[in-house]
Structure 1
């Protein structure tokens, strides 16, 4: 009887990692929100506005915030004028690093109407830079640039393509309808 009692106690010991794997609790968010708007300010002035339909925050050694239904970001100057926008179908923010990765149909548009298209982009909140090592397409009023990798300020007014693959010049006369 004592042997059976000892066997029962030893078999009831649960490894927390095994329990987490079975229950899936380690993958549950600590906070979930819908229709979120997050404002980032500097010196009491709004600099960035982030909107997302769904936000899930996860804790742990490397906490992160997942935006599984996409994100819309507006960057502002000191006068609250929108200087650029960023949208994507998915994003994840690494909370300890202040870095947001935007994925799947990423589009950035600046105040001049220049547009960046890529499938993966990183926004570094500390350095105020956006960059990618993936294929990018930048459309301006007079040309389309293709390349692999780029870096820009978060306003997307000063950018550099690292490995240009091609340039297409847009002839404005071809797109102008005849009177």
Structure 2
């Protein structure tokens, strides 16, 4: 009789252990399916409309159809694969607008890379168009090595291959360029 009870108890224990092993395998498979691929973004935003404030005042707005957040990477960044529009406001509520077909913001360096039909329109109507433009947020500096066209508010036009400037375009350096400059003479 002892032998029969041992068989029954052994069979129950074996069945229980086998059932546990199969159930663990099923759960492990489900967990593995939920793992994100290594190159996947941490988050995806659709219909983005962000407002940046400083001391309760809106200093910038950012609109984009899609944002992919890769802040989980060793070199974190945010990508705007369907373009973006950013509007900056100064203390006098004047705005500067930047649009591009694609953009990347690198968090560690403060560098923004804008690509494809980049257009910058300043509050004084200066317009810059380029295929690619970089903005160094830490140094408030804008630059590119690509072809660009700048139309100043006074009617002057500058077409060049590369430039760098402060973000107000008051300290502007252009490399190889062609353009029309308007110089006003002082009347004596």
TM-score (norm 2): 0.70
For 1:156-175, what per-residue CA distance to the aligned partner results, in whole angstroms no more than 9, with x for missing partners? 442413214211369xxxxx
Give the one of 143, 150, 153 matched to 2:156. 143
Relative to structure 1, the CA distance from residue 80 to residue 142 in structure 2 (aligned partners, 3 Å threshold; closer, same or farther) is closer
Distance 1:48 1:128, change over 3 A: farther
Q: Is residue 2:134 matched to residue 1:122?
A: yes
Determine which of 29, 38, 53 is the counterpart of 1:41: 53
- The structure having more radius of gyration, on CA atoms, is 2
Asked if 1 retains the 8 angstrom alpha-carbon contact of 2:97 and 2:121, the reply is yes
Q: Which has the higher contact order (CA 8 A, sep 6+)?
A: 1
Contact 1:145 1:164 in 2 (8 A): no
Determine which structure has the larger strand proportion and give its number.
1
Is structure 2 residue 69 aligned with structure 1 residue 75? no
Query: Out of 159, 166, 170, which is 2:178 matched to?
Result: 166
Once superposed, what is the RMSD of the aligned Cα atoms? 2.2
What's the CA shift for 1:39?
2.4
In the alignment, the residues of structure 2 paired with residue 37 and residue 159 of structure 1 have an alpha-carbon distance, to the nearest angstrom, of: 31
Q: Take 2:147 and 2:171, find their aligned partners in 1: how far apart are those partners?
A: 15
Instruction: Measure, in 2, the Cα distance between the counterparts of 1:28 and 1:127.
Output: 31
Deviation at 1:99, TM superposition (A): 1.6
Residue 75 of structure 1: CA displacement?
A: 1.0
For these two proteins, the number of residue pairs brought into alignment is 147
Please report how far the alpha carbon of residue 62 of structure 1 lies from its aligned counterpart in structure 2 after TM superposition. 0.4
**Structure 2 contact 58–89 (Cα < 8 Å) conserved:** yes
